[in-house]
Amino acid sequence: MCGGDPRFGSQLVEAGPGVAEVISAVPFQENPPLSSDWLRSEMLERFQVIRPVEIDPGTRVLEVGAGAHAISTVPLAYRVGAQGRVVAVERERWTHFREVVHAVGLADRILPLTCDARRLPFRSNVFELGACIHGIRSLRSEGRMVEVFQEMLRVAPRILLAESLPLARNPAQRAHLAMYDLRQEIFEALNGVPDDLHYLSLDRLVGLVERAGGSVLQARVVEVDLPHALAYLPRAYVQRVPDPQKREDLLHRWDGAEQLRRRYGADHPPVGVIVAEVAY
Ligand SMILES: C[S@@+](CC[C@H](N)C(=O)[O-])C[C@H]1O[C@@H](n2cnc3c(N)ncnc32)[C@H](O)[C@@H]1O
């Protein structure tokens, strides 16, 4: 579902030999119907998203919501260099994390830590940067987002947030949003708790950072132009929704979204990137 996209190859070349070397060491993943290079493509997107942000070699980074594949942890670890460190905080999902960070040769810069980012076990300002890349969507409510941003601003004087925006500039981005926007409701219907919340606008994200006590230094939109296969959920998964009316409605919308995806593919929407510091 993203294999062989020519944009991946050309952007890999543009990213430079160091990034290309890291990406080419990322293990292939067998998760049909996703193509086996989906993790490489997603990781390249994370490299692109943090590229405009100043991260000095030697920086100590606290990352929130690292996820099961270290997709954003590896780019952060690459950017901090051999003297830097990334403490990667994750509440529960570590499935391929060790395998990936070892495969790319950056495991010695990365310290994984299982905990809830709303209560980080660190003294104030022990890090130089707090980062949450494509993880805000998983924080389950705006109230929790504020709590997590507050905690990040307590342990680091500067934070970097990146999250997809609810914007579509072409049919492939519209196709991504159509499928992605079903996820919150599907997870809620199946598990009783929402996950993968609808993307927030950049203004709304800025407002939440300010509520958390942050002063925004930069808020920019990064256009990625890469495929994005990860919103996809199998139809069989939606068929497990117990409420018949809800199931019918979701299946109908899933069919529409899948039709768009087959016709246009699915691309990353523009990404909002925010850098903020503690407001005095
Ligand atoms: C979308 S996923 C992975 C994001 C990853 N950084 C990336 O670039 O794809 C976000 C992760 O945040 C984790 N998460 C959600 N709430 C959390 C919390 N309160 N503390 C720590 N991790 C959390 C989830 O378990 C999930 O694995």
The verdict on the CB of residue 31 being under 6 Å from ligand 1 is no
Q: What is the pLDDT of residue 2?
A: 56
- Residue at token pair 């039709």: 259
Question: Under 8 Å CB-to-CB from 143, ≥6 apart: which residues?
Answer: none
Taking the centre of ligand 1 as the mean of its atom positions, its distance from the CA of residue 263, in whole angstroms, is: 30
Interior/surface letters 138-151, b for 16+ CB within 10 angstroms, e for the rest: bbeebebbbbbbbb
Closest residue by CA, ligand 1 atom 16:
139
Closest residue by CA, ligand 1 atom 10:
135
Q: Please state the domain extents for the chain.
A: 6-165+200-226+268-278, 169-194+228-264
Beta carbons of 150 and 186 less than 8 angstroms apart: no
The verdict on the CB of residue 65 being under 6 Å from ligand 1 is yes
Nearest to 112 by CA among 134, 132, 92: 92
Q: What is the pLDDT of residue 3?
A: 62
- Which is the CATH superfamily of the domain at 6-165+200-226+268-278? Vaccinia Virus protein VP39 (3.40.50.150)
The verdict on the CB of residue 163 being under 6 Å from ligand 1 is no
Widest CA span in the chain: 56
Beta carbons of 77 and 110 less than 8 angstroms apart: yes
The verdict on the CB of residue 195 being under 6 Å from ligand 1 is no
Closest residue by CA, ligand 1 atom 3:
67
The pLDDT profile of the chain, 280 residues, written as one tens digit per residue, is 556 799 999 999 999 999 999 999 999 988 887 889 999 999 999 999 999 999 999 999 999 999 999 999 999 999 999 999 999 999 999 999 999 999 999 999 999 999 999 999 999 999 999 999 999 999 999 999 999 999 999 999 999 999 999 999 999 999 999 999 999 999 999 999 989 999 999 999 999 999 999 999 999 999 999 999 889 999 999 999 999 999 999 999 999 999 999 999 999 999 999 999 999 8
Which of 43, 46, 90, 271 to mutate to test ligand 1, by most ligand atoms within 8 A of the CB atom?
Answer: 90
The verdict on the CB of residue 89 being under 6 Å from ligand 1 is yes
| The 85-90 sheet, strands edge to edge | 110-114, 85-90, 60-64, 129-133, 158-164, 271-278, 214-222
Closest residue by CA, ligand 1 atom 14:
65
Beta carbons of 74 and 39 less than 8 angstroms apart: no
Interior/surface letters 157-186, b for 16+ CB within 10 angstroms, e for the rest: ebbbbbbbbbbbeeebbbbbbbbbbbbbbb
The verdict on the CB of residue 85 being under 6 Å from ligand 1 is no
Taking the centre of ligand 1 as the mean of its atom positions, its distance from the CA of residue 139, in whole angstroms, is: 7
Taking the centre of ligand 1 as the mean of its atom positions, its distance from the CA of residue 245, in whole angstroms, is: 31
Taking the centre of ligand 1 as the mean of its atom positions, its distance from the CA of residue 169, in whole angstroms, is: 27
Taking the centre of ligand 1 as the mean of its atom positions, its distance from the CA of residue 68, in whole angstroms, is: 8
Beta carbons of 130 and 120 less than 8 angstroms apart: no
